[in-house]
Amino acid sequence: MIAKWLSGKNSLIWIKNVDNRTKKTYGKRVAIIGGGPAGLMAAEVLSRADVRVDVYDAMPSVGRKFLMAGKGGMNITHSEPFPLFLSRYGGHASDLGPMLEAFSPAALRGWLQNLGIDTFVGSSGRVFPTDMKAAPLLRAWLRLLREAGVVFHTRHCWTGWVGDNTDGLIFQSPQGEQEIKADAVVFALGGASWPQLGSTGNWMPIFHGRGIPVRTLQPSNCGFEAAWSENFKSRYAGQPVKTVAISFTDAKGQAFSHKGEFVITETGVEGGLVYSLSALLRTSIASTGKALVYVDLLPDKGLAWLAQRLSRIRGKESMSNYLRKSVGIDGVKAALLRELLPMADFDNPEKLALAIKSLPITLLAARPIEEAISSAGGVPFSALDEGLMLRSNPGLFCAGEMLDWEAPTGGYLLTACFASGRRAGEGVIDWFKGQSEG
């Protein structure tokens, strides 16, 4: 491979000969910082334009968090009707709406098909690659990007800008400190969850120091702490509580209820059912110091049925056998009742039935952001134009989880990262066109 720099009228022009057979000329140079889904999607969009694309990542390889997210089965998006899909983004649905309409779940599946990755819809409506794995997808994608001329620089940790300019970037690399110049920069640095995979949030003070608005990163899709007794957590930590419903009412009186399962931990609770309410629970804890949720241990059974079944005389039968034979409650569900319900209430069929249908659990704090699946906070959409360029810093774009939005698990996180990366790439192209026309 032969490469050299030539002086161009407006910028440096990169000419690269690959095996002396093909030649590609780049009129502009774009640095993408972060090799996750958002950064890679921006790179793909830009690789089709007349620009040189360099992707920088602090880790030894790109896509590490993406690969980890696919370890239990790569849930890439969701098949539900688009209005319902969009509603999952809560207060940021209007911010993300145009991007998700332009690169919808259906479009994402089509893009995967073009990569040679077939998908299927699971029983819950979630969409998965046929082989359930992330690695084949990432390999095919990186091969496509490299063939398009994208250059990857791993073990390059961005530490700031050169002086007061934003076109000069400083990286710490195995070769020491390096200064890189770029005509535009797409930041796709992630939030602060799973920092061991690269999303450290270390960019926050750098942005703040430059006067770029940022909102504190907070854990999302995370576990919450509860004051379990030593006996309960030593015996039941790690056990799933299946086929239940959790309900919660916020400070405005709005009630929310979701059905599914969660997991008992040494410190409290976690799992999909808890994650679906994490934003609401976090807000409640911030304002009142706690969040009170109610667990329906038998959501498919009515209160009248329970009361009738529990009215039979227990006699000398142990409470464990009584609950198991009467209403089918045993194991961790029975343990939760013993943990949270006063002993006197077990002898009152009405109170016991009410507790089974609405068992209160007080949650005291969110688990640390390092343990969370994702994070909320970051760069607010109000600081960005429709192309995701910082209004205060032309030529700097942001995408992915470093933007201030959040969504539950179920494919929503990845879809928005893909869509925002695509929009940032298009935003760079639009900005370049505006410059040339101006």
Looking at the structure, do residues 385 and 360 belong to the same domain, yes or no? no
State the pLDDT at residue 182: 95
- 209 shares its domain with 255: no
Residue from 18, 63, 55, 45 nearest 151 by CA: 55
Q: Which of 234, 293, 291 is nearest to 264 (CA)?
A: 234
Whether 119 shows a pLDDT value over 60: the answer reads: yes
Give CA–CA dist 306/105, Å, rounded.
42
Q: Which residue has the tokens 């030529």?
A: 395
What is the identity of the amino acid at 279? A
Mean pLDDT, residues 277-285 taken together: 95
Domain-located, residue 149: yes
**330 assigned to some structural domain:** yes
pLDDT of residue 11: 32
Taking every pair of Cα atoms in the chain, the longest distance, rounded to a whole number of angstroms, is 94
Q: Are residues 237 and 301 in the same domain?
A: yes
Question: pTM (2 decimals)?
Answer: 0.89
- 238 and 214 within one domain: no
Of 23-32, 126-135, 198-207, where does mean pLDDT reach its minimum? 23-32
Nearest to 406 by CA among 371, 370, 381: 381
Residue 273 is assigned to a structural domain of this protein? yes
Which amino acid does the sequence have at 281? L
Q: What is the DSSP annotation of 282-339?
A: HHHHHHHS-EEEEEES-TTS-HHHHHHHTTS--TTS-HHHHHHHHH---HHHHHHHHH
Mean pLDDT, residues 351-374: 96
- φ, ψ (nearest 5 deg) of residue 397: -120, 155
Three-state SS at 181: strand
Distance from C-alpha of 274 to C-alpha of 241, rounded to nearest angstrom = 11
pLDDT at 311 over 90: no
Among the residue ranges 117-121, 173-177, 254-258, the one predicted with the least confidence is 254-258
Asked whether residue 215 falls in the same domain as residue 228, the answer is: no
Same domain? For 361 and 407 the reply is no
What is the pLDDT of the chain when averaged over all its residues? 91
Mean pLDDT of 98-122: 97
Pairing of strands 126-129, 77-78: antiparallel
Of 366, 390, 425, the domain-final residue: 366
Gap between the Cα atoms of 244 and 400, Å rounded: 33
* Number of independent structural domains in the chain: 2
Residue in this structure with the two tokens 């819950």, named with its chain if needed:
124
Domain assignment present for residue 90? The answer is: yes
Q: Rounded distance, CA 90 to CA 417, Å?
A: 16
| Tens-digit pLDDT profile for residues 38-76 | 999 999 999 999 899 999 999 999 999 999 887 778 999
Burial class (CB in 10 A: 0-12, 13-18, 19+), 165: exposed
Q: Is residue 371 part of a domain?
A: no
Confidence (pLDDT) at 251: 86
Number of CB atoms found within 10 A of residue 366's CB: 22
Instruction: Give the residue-averaged pLDDT of 374-378.
Output: 96
Of 330, 347, 366, the domain-final residue? 366
Q: Report whether 333 contacts 297 (CB < 8 A).
A: yes
Same domain, 17 and 143: yes
For residue 252, is it within any domain? yes
Domain edge (last residue) among 366, 395, 416: 366
The answer on 243 and 155 residing in a single domain is no
User: How do residues 212-256 score in pLDDT, each as one tens digit?
Assistant: 999 999 999 999 999 999 999 999 999 999 999 999 998 889 899
Instruction: Decide if pLDDT at 164 tops 90.
Output: no
What is the structure's pLDDT at 15?
A: 31
Q: How far apart are CA 35 and CA 19, in angstroms?
A: 26
Are 384 and 247 found together in one domain? no
140 pairs with which residues across the strands? Answer: none
Which residue range forms the structural domain that includes residue 277? 224-366
pLDDT top residue among 312 and 84 = 84
Judgement on whether residues 196 and 176 belong to the same structural domain of the protein: yes
The pLDDT-based confidence of 6 (bands split at 50, 70, 90) is very low
Domain match, 27 and 116 both: yes
pLDDT, mean of residues 341-367:
95
3-state secondary structure of 211: coil
- Tell me: do 100 and 207 sit in the same domain: yes
Q: How is the beta sheet containing 12-18 ordered, strand by strand?
A: 2-7, 12-18, 22-26
CATH number for 215: 3.50.50.60
